[in-house]
Homo-oligomer: A and B are copies of this chain.
Amino acid sequence: MSIQIGIFGYGNLGRGIESAIRQNPDMTLAAVFTRRDPATLTIGTEGVPVLHTSQVEAYADKIDVMILCGGSATDLPTQTPALARRFCVVDSFDTHARIPEHLAAVDAAAKEGGKTAMISVGWDPGMFSLNRLYGDAVLPDGKDYTFWGKGVSQGHSDAIRRIDGVLDAKQYTIPVESALEAVRSGVCPDLTTRQKHTRECFVVAAEGADKARIEREIKTMPNYFADYDTTVHFISAEELARDHGGIPHGGFVIRSGKTGKESEHTHVIEYSLRLDSNPEFTASVIVAYARAVARLYREGNVGCKTVFDIPPAYLSPKSRDELIASLL
């Protein structure tokens, strides 16, 4: 029986989920829910109903796992607990500092409804978190480092776009190569925010706008840019569309640690991602975990889970015997 997937929110991530489902023969897209007028939305899969979010209750028996594709700032904190009462759900909540409270809210809702939920699925949080945990457990006398990029940060791009006189912008987060090399050498350096990443901004300014003022406002913006070495390039709208249309991302989780009688041996574990499309890769991770959620629910394992709770074999459509014979 194919796993029936619902998509709740049809932006970049929702479209990525739709594509990922097509790569997984054990899954079917059952319905897409949108806050827009469903009549205005054309999706990529023929014959799949597109419905308004207000109609979601009627689908409670038709969907095995609902994947929430909204944003962490305002959508998911209310949507995930609300839906977890009636659906098995997966979200990609990525505000690290607020994960514990989100988990508690979703866990309570899922248990009330007897459903299985999973939050914070993707690559960070997600695959990067797994690698931080495995590294921490395997090399306890060590330290881990996470670097992001080179990639587009949506939040930082949005922050630039809000500046007066800016028509459009793309911001790239770039790991500092010398910092990466220091970490890879196993010396466990102490690194400041500025030493780990730089930020590069491509900005389309309105005609006649004061570019010096825009550049200053970007570089001094607290939290977003003030703690980084930031470069600002002014380009045309055509150049932005031509050269910066993608949503690439990636990064590195590196753990180094010591072993031996006198801690004389150093080991370096490095996990890296190079992604052409951040939302499509995030979607691919979510879809694999949706399979795990469906299985946990069948097993009666309710409440809210994280990637830390899921046996790796649950992500795969292959049988345990097949996995052991082919991948172990």
A59 interface contact, C-beta 8 A = no
Alpha-carbon distance between A44 and B262 when the two chains are bound, in angstroms: 11
Indicate with 1 or 0, residue by residue over A20-36, a CB within 8 angstroms of chain B CB atoms.
10011000000000000
Contact A308 B280 (CB under 8 A): no
Instruction: Please indicate the chain B residues that have their CB under 8 angstroms from the CB of A131 in the complex.
Output: 271
Indicate whether A312 sits within 8 Å of B19 (C-beta atoms), given known contacts A265-B280, A325-B99, A328-B125. Answer: no
Does the CB pair A19–B308 fall under 8 Å?
A: no
- In the complex, are the beta carbons of A273 and B267 less than 8 A apart? yes
Stretch binding the partner chain, chosen from A70-78, A138-146, A168-176, A237-245: A138-146
Which A-B residue pairs are the 6 nearest by beta carbons? A265-B276, A137-B315, A308-B313, A259-B280, A265-B277, A137-B288
- In A281-315, the 8 Å CB interface with B consists of 281, 283-285, 288, 291, 306-313, 315
Task: Using CB atoms, name the residue of chain B closest to A323.
Answer: B308
Q: How far is the CB of A23 from chain B (nearest CB, A)?
A: 5
CB contact between A308 and one of B257, B281, B283, B311 (< 8 Å): that residue: B311
**At the interface, yes or no: A96 with Cβ under 8 Å from chain B?**
yes
- Residue numbers in B under 8 Å from A130 (CB-CB): 134, 312
Within 8 Å of chain B (Cβ to Cβ): is A194?
no
Using a CB–CB cutoff of 8 Å, the interface residues on chain A facing chain B are 16, 19-20, 23-24, 44, 96, 99-100, 103, 120, 125, 127, 129-134, 136-141, 184, 186, 257, 259-261, 264-277, 280-281, 283-285, 288, 291, 306-313, 315-318, 320-321, 323-325, 327-328
- Tell me which residues across on chain B come within 8 A of A291, comparing CB atoms: 137
B328 A308 Cβ-Cβ under 8 A: yes
Assembly of this chain: how many copies? Answer: 2
Contacts of A129 in B (CB 8 A): 327-328
Knowing A127-B134, A133-B315, A327-B132, the reply to whether A276 touches B280 (Cβ < 8 A) is: no
Contact across chains for B307 and A310 when beta carbons are under 8 A apart = no
Query: B320 contacts A308, CB within 8 Å?
Result: yes
In the assembled complex, how far is the CB of residue A262 from the closest CB belonging to chain B, in whole angstroms? Answer: 9
Question: In the complex the two chains form, is A140's CB within 8 Å of B313's CB?
Answer: no
Question: Are A327 and B133 neighbours in the complex by a CB distance under 8 Å?
Answer: yes
Taking a contact as CB atoms closer than 8 A, the residue among B139, B265, B269, B316 that contacts A137 in the complex is B316
Closest to A249 in B: B267
B residues within 8 A CB of A308?
311-313, 320, 323-324, 327-328
